[in-house]
Copies of this chain bind each other. A is one copy, B any other.
Amino acid sequence: MKRTLLIALAIFTLALATARAQEPVKTIAERLGYPRDTKLLIVHADDLGMTHSVNRATMQALKTGLVNSGSIMVPCPWLSEIAEYARTNPQADLGLHLTLTSEWTNLRWGPVSSKDRVSSLISPDGYFYLTETEAAEHADPKQVEIEIMAQIEKARALGIQPTHLDSHMGTLYQNKELFEVFLRVARSQKLPVRVSRADFPPELLAQGDAYIDRVLTITPAVAPQDWAKFYSDALSKLEPGVTEAVIHLAYDDAEMQGATFNHPNWGAAWRQRDLDFFTSEAFRKLLQENQIKLITWRELGKLIK
């Protein structure tokens, strides 16, 4: 009898597991109220606050409605300009591009916190480290939490109501400890984060959080003349679910050229190409032809209780 019971229990458990596996988990699109096969896109400009050129280009792009989201670097010199924009455009979908690196050799920035409190984030030259690798290597996770909380508090003090959080140069994805700080802070703030199901193993992602399905971003492998083709192809093949197009906008002007002079990747001309494509009629047409619907982080944020 003992044996029969065990077999029965095993069969029951198996049946239950199968039933659960068959019951489809709701996709993000469905949780947002869209049919499962809807193609949803956030067109998101990074690095707001870095320079006047970035700010001006992004404000121009947001006006078209084709670029519909962006995130702000609180430690950067031109923060006040974009904070003013955020205050006068409270409907704009603006998040915080949490910043722990200062990557341009001629134009530097450092922490919002008092330096003594976040010494592990500061390179010998007194600014944030130049690369995400160095930053992650030296960063004390406790000090990272202090600094990113300080960035959030400063943004709120300036009247920015962030709709989401992401991580400049991906520093907060560099190791498990930093990633945990990132998610903990996001949960404490009830804000969605740039974490895509395509890039992270499911066991890291908690049920209550809101994620995107994938990130679409151009890479240095694409030649300048192939810029429009790369994006057109990607949009034509866009899969259902939530995609975030992570783009970088600025003018190819003296200021941006000065900042990025030794780094053509994500440089001035790169950003002008992104600006040109994502504010073009060609892009608007691609959205229509491929039945792509634009959504914002604000909508995703509503999934968080």
- A-to-B contact residues, CB < 8 Å: 51-53, 55-56, 77-81, 84, 105-109, 112-117, 125-126, 154, 157-158, 251, 253-255, 258-259
Specify which of A55, A77, A109, A154 lies most central, judged by the most chain B CB atoms within 10 Å of its CB. A77
29 contacts between A and B (CB under 8 A): A51-B255, A52-B106, A52-B107, A52-B258, A52-B259, A53-B255, A55-B258, A56-B258, A77-B108, A77-B109, A78-B106, A78-B107, A78-B258, A80-B105, A80-B106, A80-B107, A80-B125, A81-B106, A81-B258, A84-B105, A84-B106, A114-B115, A114-B117, A116-B116, A116-B117, A125-B158, A253-B254, A254-B254, A255-B255
Closest to A55 in B: B258
Q: Is the CB of B105 within 8 A of A56?
A: no
Inter-chain contacts of A77 with B (CB < 8 A): 77, 107-109
Inter-chain contacts of A126 with B (CB < 8 A): 112, 154, 157
**Chain B nearest Cβ from A129, distance in angstroms:** 14
Closest to A118 in B: B114
Inter-chain contacts of A53 with B (CB < 8 A): 254-255
**Chain B nearest Cβ from A121, distance in angstroms:** 13
CA gap between A253 and B51 in the complex, in Å: 14
Shortest Cβ-Cβ A-B pairs, 5 listed: A52-B258, A81-B106, A255-B255, A114-B115, A77-B77
Q: Is the CB of A255 within 8 A of B52?
A: yes
CA gap between A116 and B113 in the complex, in Å: 9
> Given contacts A52-B255, A84-B105, could you give 5 more A-B pairs where the C-beta distance is less than 8 Å?
A52-B258, A79-B108, A114-B115, A116-B117, A253-B254
